[in-house]
Amino acid sequence: MFYGKHIHALDSKSRVFVPSKFREELGSSFIITKGLDTCLFAFTMAEWANVEQRMKNISFTDNEGRSFMRFLFAGAAECEVDKQGRILIPQDLKEYANLDKEICIVGLSNRIEIWDKNLWDKQNSEGDRNAAMLAKRMAILGI
């Protein structure tokens, strides 16, 4: 399970350090892809297999389903951690997430989100302001 927030710098070669507790959980290789809210998602290979399995249930006649599958799978790349504990962020994913210098790596249970720190700060402050409303929504969903 992933949890916590870590701030790291993106180097000139588009590499970022992955915290050791996340590296242990991710394993030697994992999947990184476009996420929602202009961040990147990182999944263990086992969790990615679960995502793939759920996506197989989407009918090819479902226009929105096809669009989401393209969004998720076309941007996916397998990543490996180098000996210094860094991963290379593919250029198209770097551009999608507007990654610049400071990167925020956030653990969210079954996945990691990779954010540009400025975007994270903005997104997180909006969530803080709306915490009561979000909690009420989660209660309606039975969470």
The token pair that represents 99 in the structure block: 């990654």
How far from 51 is each of 5, 35, 37, 57, 73, CA to CA, in Å? Answer: 23, 13, 18, 10, 10
SS (H, E, C) 52-109: HHHHCCCCCCCHHHHHHHHHHHHCCEEEECCCCCEEECCHHHHHHCCCCCEEEEEEEE
The token pair that represents 63 in the structure block: 């226009």
The range of the structural domain enclosing residue 34 comes to 2-116
Q: Is the pLDDT at 80 greater than 90, yes or no?
A: yes
pLDDT at 43: 96
User: Is 128 a domain residue?
Assistant: no
Q: What is the pLDDT of residues 112-138, one digit of tens each?
A: 999 999 999 988 776 556 667 767 777
Q: Which helix (H) or strand (E) holds 45?
A: helix 45-55
pLDDT at 39: 95
User: Is 77 a domain residue?
Assistant: yes
Cα–Cα distance for residue pair 98/101, rounded to 1 Å: 10
Q: Is 37 within 8 Å of 116 (Cβ atoms)? A: no
Reported as a pLDDT band with limits 50, 70 and 90, residue 143 is low
Query: Considering its fold, how many domains does the chain have in total?
Result: 1
Mean pLDDT of the chain: 90
User: Is 13 a domain residue?
Assistant: yes
Tokens 């653990």 sit on residue: 107
The token pair that represents 98 in the structure block: 């507007």
User: Is 139 a domain residue?
Assistant: no
pLDDT cut 70: percent of the chain above it:
93
Is the alpha carbon torsion for 54, 55, 56, 59 positive or negative? positive
- Domain with 72 in it: what CATH number? 3.40.1550.20
The token pair that represents 39 in the structure block: 């961040």
User: Is 121 a domain residue?
Assistant: no
User: Is 124 a domain residue?
Assistant: no
Q: What is the pLDDT of residues 87-97, one digit of tens each?
A: 999 999 999 99
